[in-house]
Structure 1
Amino acid sequence: MTMVEHRMVEVNGVRLHIAEQGEGPLVVLLHGFPESWHSWHRQFGPLTEAGFRVVAPDQRGYGRSDRPADVESYTILHLVGDVVGLIRALGEERAYVVGHDWGAPVAWHTALLRPDLVLGVAGLSVPPPFRGTQPPLAAMEERFGGRFYWNYFARPGVADAEFGRDPRTALRKFFHWASGDAPGSGEDRQPLVDPGRGWLAAMPEPEVQPEWFTEEDLDVLADSFSEGFTGALNWYRNLDRNWELTAPWHGAVVTPPSLYVYGDRDLVPAFPGMPELIAKLPRLMPGLRREPVKLAGCGHWTQQERPQEVNEALVAFLRSCP
């Protein structure tokens, strides 16, 4: 079996670092916040052995990829454009698209906006997009008095400074807090931030690293944020702009074959309105191949916490697509 190889690809005026392995139909793996291509390292082998060509980019603003200075360069249309451009740059006409956390909305929107390019789409943690009636930052500002983490991340320079002071410690605490190993459940861990203290102050220091997130994994991840968190946080600063830009697709649904996987201890599926949406997905999603897959004891870092179960679900789903 070939090794994972790394190179740079120019897409839409930005240079993206990609990791790739294997031959066969293309599968694009899209990471979330605060991650990198490395969050998929346990998926490369199984997907390659199943007969697929696997490519995981550092998305714009992350890792070794370019970090445009303009905040407005991180809208959902730019991010989908990167996926579309990447498929073309890799010499393919169509691909399977899989995303986790922020990568999931990018994957879902790629399928929503360009279904002609998507053989199948899978989202981990974050369910498919159904555009609300008001801008999301404004809605959460009103609901939680500005304490919801989206609003905290959207403030220029604030979370950038907090996470950037000691990236390795910030990442270690954040990954433990949102994992299935942390005490409490998703329902009682709404991500609210005390603006006076910041977010990390409320997160306990884990006594030991979990088996699924080793010191080596932490080293690789911390290194990918050596130039800071601003590019990654700029994604959150476009949430209301994305709501405006996606108005033409209000009420539209994802039509390609699809799969949704989440952990029962993940805080994201417990966000306001999410449980009700997940319950309705089989009726709302014409391409959903099976009931949403709920992983017992799994927190937010789906493919890292439960690699074997996620790999089995992905391989079965990809093989089921025409």
Structure 2
Amino acid sequence: MRVELNDVTLEVEDRGTGPAVLLVHGFPDTHDCWRHQVPALNAAGYRTIAPDLRGFGGSDRPLTTAAYDPSHSVADLLELLDRQGVDRVHLVGHDWGSGIVQRLALTAPDRVASLSLLSVGNLGAYGDAGWEQRRWSWYMQLFQLEGLAEDWLTRDGCANAHEFLAEHPDREEVVARLTAPGALTPALSIYRAGLPPEAMFGPRQPLPPLRGPVLGLWSSGDRFLTEVSMSGTGKYVEGSWRYESIDGAGHWLQLEAPERVNAILLDFLAEHTP
């Protein structure tokens, strides 16, 4: 469905009944990256709400870089929950979606029943992971360079995009969608607005702790994120913290190892659903 908000219109998949679970994708995905989780959650008695973030998939693409600051996506999601009649929700985020749901949890903690973070942990833990993590995050600096990053990803028949997303189970579809006319710059803008160089390499500001319960889920084949950047998130959680790792899966663990992800997620949600 299309849900019209104050600033943008989002493409949203809303299925099932019961306690609500908001599933938030990251770069360069859409709500379709949750296609293995939605039926499992619905069958277990949960309602799933899975939007395309602004700038991705079928949702609107604002023209300015500033429009992609994560605070705007947080506002979108809170307004979406209001429009869909949801007061309290379980948050699940992958990649950039993890960062966005963390900010949502800090913005409106009383609306959050639980917080599940896939692949990307707390920004404080990311900083604590040191230069190894920064070395793995080389592409974040490249993505800051408007025009150059777009050229790098699309040159030679999108060869670099294919290599960068080599482990993505939907690589061909994702590259085609990402490099379609008008799609690439909005998708990259989430990096430009959300993680400018000073945020990654400048002095770190103290972060407020996340209110538990929080689940952190990392996969051993992730070539973008070190384990410490997720396992260390517990230091930044006030309350219940649970860490799980999945061997053999890459960055898109919810697509590569759906049965294991679903089992862990359903167990965690059941523990924190009245």
| Same fold? TM cut 0.5 | yes
Q: Which of the numbers 45, 57, 70 marks the counterpart of 1:76? A: 70
Q: How does 1:27-176 map to 2 (within 5 A)?
A: 27-130=21-124, 148-164=138-154, 172-176=162-166
Report sequence identity in percent. Answer: 32
State the shift of 1:39 in Å.
Answer: 0.8
**Paired amino acid for 1:288:** S
Distance 2:80 2:32 in 1: 18
Q: Is the 8 A contact 1:63 1:225 kept in 2?
A: no
Q: Which of the numbers 187, 198, 201 marks the counterpart of 1:232? A: 187
Distance 1:33 1:257, change over 3 A: same
Match of 1:255 in 2: 211
Distance 1:242 1:41, change over 3 A: farther
> Which secondary structure state, in structure 2, belongs to the residue aligned with residue 237 of structure 1?
helix
Distance 1:17 1:318 in 2: 25
Distance 1:280 1:79, change over 3 A: same
CA RMSD of superposed structures (Å)? 3.0
State the shift of 1:278 in Å.
Answer: 3.9
Distance 1:82 1:8 in 2: 13
Match of 2:16 in 1: 22
Distance 2:165 2:117 in 1: 19
Q: Is the 8 A contact 1:167 1:225 kept in 2?
A: no
**Paired amino acid for 2:71:** L
State the shift of 1:167 in Å.
Answer: 7.7
The size of the alignment, in residue pairs, is 264
**Paired amino acid for 1:298:** A
Q: Is the 8 A contact 2:125 2:232 kept in 1?
A: no
**Paired amino acid for 1:297:** G
Distance 1:46 1:169 in 2: 35
> Which secondary structure state, in structure 2, belongs to the residue aligned with residue 293 of structure 1?
strand
State the shift of 1:151 in Å.
Answer: 1.1
Given the two structures, how large is their TM-score scaled by the length of structure 1?
Answer: 0.73
**Paired amino acid for 2:214:** S
Match of 1:286 in 2: 238
Distance 1:56 1:170, change over 3 A: farther
> How big is each residue's C-alpha offset from its partner over 1:82-137, in whole Å with a ceiling of 9 and x where there is no partner?
1111111111112111111111101111112211111111110001232889xxxx
> How big is each residue's C-alpha offset from its partner over 1:140-198, in whole Å with a ceiling of 9 and x where there is no partner?
9xx76xx921110010122223334588766543332x46xxxxxxxxxxxxxxxxxxx
Match of 1:295 in 2: 246
Distance 1:221 1:93 in 2: 36
> Which secondary structure state, in structure 1, belongs to the residue aligned with residue 192 of structure 2?
helix
**Paired amino acid for 1:262:** W
Q: How does 1:185-224 map to 2 (within 5 A)?
A: 213=169, 218-219=172-173, 222-223=176-177
Unaligned runs of 5+ in 2: none
Q: Is the 8 A contact 1:30 1:99 kept in 2?
A: yes
> Which secondary structure state, in structure 2, belongs to the residue aligned with residue 269 of structure 1?
coil
> Which secondary structure state, in structure 1, belongs to the residue aligned with residue 225 of structure 2?
helix
